[in-house]
Structure 1
Amino acid sequence: MAEAEGFALRLDGLSRRYRTRWALRDCSLELPRGRVSALVGSNGAGKTTLFMLATGLLRPTSGTIDVLGADPARTGMPAGASFLAQDKPLYRTFRVAEVLRAAAALNSHARWDAGYAARLIDEAGIGPQDRVRELSPGQRARVALAVALGRRPELLSGHRHLAGPATNRDDLAGAAVVHASTAGRQTTALVRGTEAPPAFRAERPTLDDLVLAYLREQESAA
């Protein structure tokens, strides 16, 4: 395991077969910690199968997988990881408060942050007594995301969230800016790297800060 400590994800000859059909075959890769990456492939390429293997929901037919220094086939999803499936699985008859209580019980071995998850839902304007089946698709996505982020997955340490005077925005010119915005007298930015201009306050970003910044970057480039 010592060799895998520098990697968030490490696969070696990973394969998964369903009877006579291979969903994933002889897949090897190394994803270092501190990176933002995307998994791209055509339908049926094995993307979902890989994630199911990485979270311990499936066991490999052959090969090995290491997630944050642990084997999910033996330990389940490591405490520092989180996963949100595209179909956002939620019990539709549950109230939102019941979803959070279930998440707390199911993630008792992880770093579950009940207050953080509840705040994400409150900020989305969703009531704790609302039933999942009565929520819009977007609201259900926010509840599912709150459950995923409530595990407090490990973040990439190479990013900083900066806040400073709008008059000093030009000071960011030399930084690797992912996304920056100005409102009133304040400029905020997510940057790659740990150095901050003198007039800016630096904080570690949350996972939602990272996700939203990269999504906004893509929207600006489109």
Structure 2
Amino acid sequence: MQFDPAFWTIVSLSLKVASVAILVALPFAIITAWVLARRQFWGHGLLNGIVHLPLVLPPVVTGYLLLITFGRNGPVGGFLFDTFGITLAFTWTGAALAAGIMAFPLMVRAIRLGFDAVDTGLEAAAATLGASPLRVFMTVTLPLIAPGILAGAVLGFAKALGEFGATITFVAAIPGQTQTIPSAIYGLLQVPGQEGAVVTLVVVSIILAMGALIVSEWLSSRMAKRLAA
């Protein structure tokens, strides 16, 4: 399988799943991080716990919860299928959903650090000059937290790229449809004589993950310098 069409299908599908997962989850992560960083309310701790629950739950449990919720017989999945004809279980879009949920807590944590690094006095100054809250957020806050957003997105991308447990439980590992790099490696390990293909996919996975982590670390260091300034 080394560098044949099946190999490139696996790699391109993994990149597509991770990219879509992060693009869809990122706006929600920004809003959630803002709420957790800037608002105090009853249930704040509960919301924080729910957001970070995928980090501590076994991924298979998360995948099972997705299956019973977004499967065709689930409350949300049944509604989507009956109303819009959308199926998530056992599709690549379902894989993106699972990857996005698993990456979501890491994104929120990184973006929340970005909010903590912002000097609220700058926001207050912009507000006193007549800027609306939305304009303050778009023109002052958002540019200042950009490194945190990028760090969260890159870190989330790395997590989504390596997601296995929730994904294989929710969408299985259908070749050409839902088989990502981790599930392909697992499948090849069950077949004698596929050591070369396994090593190739492992190397690709390491390169992609390390690249993402290096970028995330660099962006995090920029945030740390901003906090210390």
TM-score range normalised by the length of the shorter chain: under 0.3
Q: Which has the higher strand share?
A: 1
Q: Which has the higher helix share?
A: 2
What's the TM-score, normalizing by structure 2?
0.24
Q: Which has the higher contact order (CA 8 A, sep 6+)?
A: 2
